[in-house]
Structure 1
Amino acid sequence: MKTTRKNLLMLVLVFAMSMVLAACGGNNEPASSGNAVDAGGSNNGESDAAGGSENSGLAPYELKFAFPGTKQKDHDMVVEKINEYLKEKINATIDIQPIEWGQWDDKVNLMIASREPMDIYFTAQWSNYAVNVSKGAFMDLGDLLANTDAGKAIVNSLDSAFLEGSKIGGKNYGIPTNKELAASAGVVYRTDIAEELGLEMDSIKSVEDLGPILQKVKAEKPEMIPLFFREGENFNVHYFAEFDFLGDADVPGVILKDQDDTTIKPRYEFDRYLNNLKLAREFFQAGYINQDATTTTLSAQDALKAGNVFMTTASLKPGKDAELASATGLVGKLKQIELTGKTIATSETAGSMLAISTTSDDPERAMMFISLLHTDKYLNNLLNFGIEDVHYSRDGEIITPTEKAGDYALGSAWMLGNQFLNYVWDSEDPQKWEKFREFNEGGKPSPGLGFTFDAEPVKTQVAALVNVRKEFDAALDTGAVDPDDVLPNYINKLKAAGIDDVIAEKQRQFDEFLANK
């Protein structure tokens, strides 16, 4: 046990030191078009990711890239600018396909099942990563990472903890985003409404404390949704309940990442899961939660942007409220409240990744594009924030929105490459990236840090369990149904689909991982 704790502490120290380097990289001098810098600031010249601006010998190729998000009004304008640059860098163009959050899982499942041609998918531990690996949807990236300039540039730009912590069976099937390593959760709320109603937001220390606040919002602002919920945004999602799924969040069997117990159990055997179901039901029946929570396709960000939502749940980090404010047109009107401690788990190292599809006709070109997102400041900011002097103006690393900023507000920087290359909005803390480093200090390591479950031995059961969860999770987690009535049937169906087999296999692999640490 002492050895395990020592190893975990050493990992945290490594993470913290690497983030110091990464934060330094975020303070490089402004880059002109084509200038590339890695997270550690060690490459101040042209990017090696795609051979600089040399594309001789590369045939023209159109990449296809799918990720969850809302298509922006100026999408075509920005993509045209991206393609001008990609032609110069890697003789490629790209078809960027945002898919609405509420349709993401189902649409990607169909695309993968039909073997639709695709080059790059967004993926994550909480978004069918292990399940899709077991289906053969994503490439083993080991050779591309080790033996291409693009892959080597990614390896050099990333803390090794990201690549190690996101492996399945010792192999990388996704390239993690370079971002924060610690995680906490809470809520984001409208400060202007809170001030107008005289709400005592400092009284909120737990989810139970939200009741009186939401009650007053409902009474005084009947046109507003007091608390926005949807599948994937509620009290029982992995980041809020602090579940560590030890891999794909669609595969049952968890430990608690804020505790030390390494016994894997179904969620329904944890009190916090049951308590969260009951509280969600209470809030839903009281009218605090949007009544379409089970079926809405809006993301929490889009719900805030619509202007009639008071509060949402959120995975938090320094400045999350300011990021959301810029993306939703609510600058100065959002604030976050942290309701959990800070933890470090594989869900963070594998919490946001780009995978190369096994249907790609040019995997090496796909890797070149991903590498540019990790090393090329111009492309990274163009994709994330739009066109300089059209969607924002820039003074060094600080950017200010123009009147057209709302026409391209992707709000997806945490998905795309290297956040330490991102410019900082003038409404954000100019020391944002330094705060990210500080945020990681003192985070509690999950007992499962570095472990990712390989679902291959029980892939038949996993596929059946994913379907069962789709049938029940959204309605239960959003409070739309009574858990006393529905949960017993849910448990029975999980058992019939093989949950005990999956948990036993997950425990076997996890015990082996712990024994070898």
Structure 2
Amino acid sequence: MLRKSKLGKSYLMILAVVLTISVVLAGCGSKNNDSKDSGSSPSKAATESKGSESSSAATEVNAADLPEVTLSITFPGTAPKDEKKVEEALNAYLKDKINAKIDINMIDWGQWDNKINLAIAGREEMDILFTASWNGHSNNVAKGAFLALNDPAGKYGNLLETYGQGILETLPPAFLAGAKINGFNYAIPTNKELAEQGGVIYRTDIAEELGLTAQLDAVKTIADLEPILAAVHAKKPELTTLYLKDGENFNSHYFAKYDHLGDNNIEGVVLKNGTDTTVKARIDFPVYKETLNITRDFFQKGFINKDAATAQLSPQDAMKAGNVFMGVFPLKPGKDAEVATAANLQGKLKQINMTDRTVSTGETAGSMLGITTTSKNPERAMMFINLLHTDKTLNNLLNFGIEGDHYTRNGEIITATDNTPNYAIGASWMFGSQFLNYIWSNEDPNKWELFKAFNTDAKNSPALGFTLNSEPISSQASVQLNIRKEFDPGLDTGSIDPAKADEYFKKLNDNGLGEVIAEKQNQLNAFLAAK
């Protein structure tokens, strides 16, 4: 129980996906609880918001005409001490906007997959749910977990068109186009950076103390980290030298550059930084075993946390605990400053960009909010998501807490207070538009321009624009997911011998991997032929 908590694409659609993604790459940054109130459908008439803290594109209804409802928003992370205080502030603000109360439901990263899978399987009532291409979105769509948000023939009509005009006017088209499955959007992407890059974030204070700053500045490859990690391990044995966990390691898609073609939980990839469109198992690419071997070496030398295969904390939360020197992260401009604020380590973290900047369709769907098919108030949920994309006050309140309490503000720049750690959820990349976010005083004031530059000249995956329809292989994918859970955490964190990879992929092959890869290849070939 949660806490309170085919292929049918026309040539024109495919062309639109590719063209819109290309346009955005040139300038993305420019711009359960146990009981619910069941409200009647609100009027579809909408007017533009006139609030000084809201975008002119925001869709606003007459809240006085709407019955009050309570919406849950469920996302991964550690629940902060001041969650209820912020909920109260959100509810007061939403009263005159859409007459809704919000129930924040955070689930620790380590428990996220299991709890959400159980909730979906049990048809547990939820409203707004975080989802992503790397977190089983395609598979959960196939299970019927999410409403199609732009289906005119759906039970609730075209929710996006009716209640999401602010999204349509502010979110670059590439995000919605790239996140479609069978022509429909089952979740709304966050408006954020489009490219992605792998690397590490480390403690600068410890590096300076041990005289390692120059060596860290010269790091280019995973192997370059070995002497640095060895020095920290020898001189600071009380620290976890390198924190890894399942999904956050050198074999993660953002580091090894796997394009899983729509769902990271379904085997069969091409490389984002390559040109070959032949779909293969990861083990068929040299980078896979090379990465397993060096990670295993680090583990055996004691650099990596011994519980890496079963670790529950995210790298960010692990650094917040204060006993971690380095972690693996998906990076973007200012990621180190964001993590530093969330971990209460302002001025003590620095990132090292270690891979190519790449773009795949998965990045368009790398962070989304969907409305579940168990929601009793999907119209109001769509209004709330729309506000997250258009209403600066609401967006920053959810992300950073209460002004004058959790931060002070000077224009667009915010500064931490003594109470910041009590609502430092570090989740701004999950909600609405990051371009509405205030900028922390320890961040570069040109952050959003840096995001724009980050997307420029990034390498495009050879499968850019393609999204797998997993329905034809859903049964194989479900069986293989359990096999992946058996092997991936141990292999990817160095906890078990890389030789086990052969046993792993034999087991996948014995359970339909060939069929899965063939289906992915057929769909990708059809997509490429229609371009």
Q: Give the structure-1-normalised TM-score.
A: 0.93
Deviations 1:296-332, CA, capped at 9 Å, x for gaps: 1101100111111010111111111111111111111
Q: 1:139 to 1:12 in 2, by over 3 A?
A: closer
Using the TM superposition, name which of 119-128 and 140-149 deviates more: 140-149
**Aligned residue number for residue 156 of structure 1:** 169
Residue in 1 that maps onto 2:194: 181
1:49 counterpart = 2:59:
yes
Q: Counterpart of 2:149? A: 141
Residue 380 of structure 1 pairs with residue 395 of structure 2: yes
Query: Helix, strand or coil: the match of 1:222?
Result: coil
Paired residue secondary structure (2:134) = coil
Q: Is the 8 A contact 1:146 1:152 kept in 2?
A: no
Match of 1:306? 321
1:19 alignment partner AA: C
| Aligned partner of 1:94 among 68, 91, 102 | 102
Alignment of 1:414-429 (within 5 A): 414-429=429-444
Question: Which one of 232, 242, 253 corresponds to residue 268 of structure 2?
Answer: 253
From 7, 10, 28, the equivalent of 1:19 is: 28
1:505-516 equivalences under 5 Å are: 505-516=519-530
1:413 aligns with 2:424: no
* Paired amino acid for 1:496: D
Give 2:186's aligned amino acid. Y
Provide the rounded CA distance (Å) in 1 between the counterparts of 2:115 and 2:237.
Answer: 35
Equivalent residue runs for 1:61-460 within 5 Å: 61-143=69-151, 148-199=161-212, 200-460=215-475
Mark the runs of 5 or more structure 1 residues left unpaired by the alignment: 1-5, 23-31
Q: TM-score, normalised by structure 2?
A: 0.90
2:511 alignment partner in structure 1: 497
**What amino acid is the match of 1:396?**
G
Three-state SS of the structure 1 residue aligned to 2:276 is: coil
Is the partner of 2:303 in helix, strand or coil? coil
Give 1:17 shift: 4.3
Q: Which amino acid aligns with 2:30?
A: L
* Identical aligned residues as a percent: 54
Q: Is the 8 A contact 2:30 2:452 kept in 1?
A: no
Rounded Cα–Cα distance in structure 2 between residues aligned with 1:403 and 1:63 = 30
Shift of 1:49: 2.4
Q: 1:145 to 1:240 in 2, by over 3 A?
A: farther
**1:20: Cα distance to partner?**
4.7
Q: Which runs of 5+ in 2 are unaligned?
A: 1-14, 32-48, 152-156
How far apart are the structure 1 equivalents of 2:160 and 2:91? 26
Aligned pair count?
A: 493
For residue 336 of structure 1, give the secondary structure of its aligned residue in structure 2. Answer: strand
Residues of 1 paired with 2:52 and 2:372: CA distance? 28
Amino acid paired to 1:497: N
Counterparts of 1:330 and 1:372, CA distance in 2? 31
SS of equivalent to 1:142: coil
Question: Per-residue deviation at 1:488?
Answer: 2.2
Corresponding letter in the other structure for 1:57:
D
Question: Quick one: distance in 2 between partners of 1:379 and 1:332?
Answer: 28
| Counterpart AA for 1:511 | N
Change (3 A) 1:148 1:347: closer
Alpha-carbon contact 2:74-2:130 (below 8 Å) kept: yes
- The alpha carbon displacement at 1:295 in A equals 1.0
1:344 positional shift: 1.1
1:26 is matched with none
Residues 482-507 of structure 1 show CA distances to partners (whole Å, capped at 9, x for unaligned) of 011x2222112101221110110010
CA 1:462/1:12 → structure 2, altered by over 3 Å: closer, same or farther?
Answer: closer
CA distance in structure 2 between the partners assigned to 1:271 and 1:213 by the alignment: 25
Report the CA distance shift for 1:281/1:17 in structure 2 as closer, same or farther (over 3 A): closer
Q: Aligned-pair distance for 1:33?
A: 11
For 1:448 and 1:50, the matched residues in 2 are separated by: 38
The answer to whether the 8 Å contact 1:126/1:347 transfers is yes
